[in-house]
Amino acid sequence: MLSESELSSPMNSFILRLLPVFLAATLNLHAEEPTDVSLVQLVATPERFDGKAVRVIGFLHLEPEGTALYLHSEDLIYTLVKNGVWVNPTADFKKKLSDRYVLIEGTFDARDHGHKGLWSGAIRDVTRATPWSPKAKKSKKKKDAVQGESEKTKTSLML
């Protein structure tokens, strides 16, 4: 045990002030960084990601008893629920995220299959949900070059 005079020394005082900062930094190192996965991976091998923080992109549909992330928008239209995962939305989920592609981060649960057990797993404890946009459209010059090559290919195939 340190005496009062030892605790008040400049070096010990400095160390005692840095200790909380060091502890906080150490605890943050243990926070799990989400793993980038595809919905195909989650659906095909759910046990591999069970309990892990994941980052995934898919088509999100929000509705009572049917909030889910699908591989494609057509999976929602044709009710292919096994091509999706249930999403436990947070209170701050915005309706504007519905029926569009989004990036979601949360914890994957392979045992939770959502309402009536229909989906291939669930994403709970969502920490991030943001709209996902397609890549910027190709420049006109690049697009014209691709079309020109396409025309050359068609012509050579006809010969």
Q: Residue 49 is part of a domain; what is its CATH number?
A: 2.40.50.140
Two structure tokens written together for 10: 């400049």
70 burial via Cβ count (<10 Å: 0-12, 13-18, 19+): buried
CB 60 within 8 A of CB 97: yes
Within the chain, how many helices (H) and strands (E) appear? 6, 6
- Report which of 53, 57, 132, 128 is spatially closest to residue 93, judged by C-alpha positions: 128
Task: State the DSSP code for 8.
Answer: T
What gap in Å lies between CA 45 and CA 12, rounded to an integer?
A: 52
CB 52 within 8 A of CB 70: no
In order along its 159 residues, the chain shows pLDDT tens digits of 556 665 566 666 655 565 555 544 444 444 679 999 999 999 999 999 999 999 999 999 999 889 999 999 999 999 999 999 999 987 777 888 999 999 999 999 999 999 998 999 999 999 999 999 887 555 555 555 545 555 554 444 445
In a domain, 146, yes or no: no
In a domain, 3, yes or no: no
In a domain, 143, yes or no: no
Predicted pLDDT at 2: 56
Three-class DSSP category at 70: strand
In a domain, 115, yes or no: yes
CB 119 within 8 A of CB 71: no
Predicted pLDDT at 38: 97
Two structure tokens written together for 123: 């994403």
Predicted pLDDT at 89: 82
- How does strand 53-61 pair with strand 35-36? parallel
- Report which of 41, 37, 99 is spatially closest to residue 69, judged by C-alpha positions: 99
Predicted pLDDT at 143: 55
In a domain, 106, yes or no: yes
In a domain, 42, yes or no: yes
